[in-house]
Amino acid sequence: MIQTLVHGAGRMARRVLAQLPDRTDYQLLGLVSRTEPDADLAADPLAMAWYASLDEVKKSADLLIDFTLPGGTGTAAHWCADNGVAMLSGTTGLSDKDVEALKDAALKVPVLWAPNLSYGVTLMTALVQQAAAALGASANITITDLHHQHKVDAPSGTALALAAAVIEGRSERLEDLLDPQRLQNPPDDDAGELAFSSVREGEVIGEHSVRFELPDEVIEISHQALDRNVFAAGALKAGAWLVDQDPGYYTTSDWLGPSG
Ligand X SMILES: NC(=O)c1ccc[n+]([C@@H]2O[C@H](COP(=O)([O-])OP(=O)(O)OC[C@H]3O[C@@H](n4cnc5c(N)ncnc54)[C@H](OP(=O)(O)O)[C@@H]3O)[C@@H](O)[C@H]2O)c1
Which residues are known catalytic residues? 147, 151
Q: Does 92 bind ligand X (CB under 6 A)?
A: yes
- Residue closer to ligand X by CB (options 68, 129) is 68
Question: Shortest Cβ distance from residue 231 to ligand X (Å)?
Answer: 4
Q: How far apart are CA 199 and CA 154, in angstroms?
A: 9
Among 65, 88, 91, 233, binds ligand X (CB under 6 A): 91
CB within 8 Å of 102: residues ≥ 6 apart: 73, 74, 77, 87, 89, 94, 111, 113, 249
Pairing of strands 206-213, 218-225: antiparallel
Give residue 88's identity as a one-letter amino acid code: L
**11 part of the interface to ligand X, by CB under 6 A:** yes
Q: Is the CB of 106 or the CB of 161 nearer to ligand X?
A: 161
CB 235 within 8 A of CB 196: no
The count of residues interacting with ligand X (CB under 6 A) is: 25
Sequence-ordered alpha helix ranges (H) in the chain: 11-19, 72-83, 96-105, 119-135, 157-170, 174-177, 180-184, 229-242, 252-256
Interaction of residue 67 with ligand X, rule CB under 6 A? yes
- Asked if 30 interacts with ligand X (CB under 6 A), we say no
Judged by beta carbon, residue 8 or residue 155, the one nearer ligand X is 8
DSSP letter for each residue of 203-255: T--EEEEEEEE-SS-EEEEEEEE--THHHHHHHHHHHHHHTTSPSEEE-HHHH
Which of 9, 17, 88, 146 is close enough to bind ligand X by CB under 6 A? 9
Taking the complex as a whole, the smallest distance from the CB of residue 94 to ligand X amounts, in Å, to 8
Specify the stretch interacting with ligand X by CB under 6 A; choose among 6-14, 21-29, 175-183, 216-224.
6-14
- Which residues of the shown chain bind ligand X in the complex (CB under 6 A)? 8-13, 33-35, 67-69, 71-72, 75, 90-93, 114-117, 151, 231
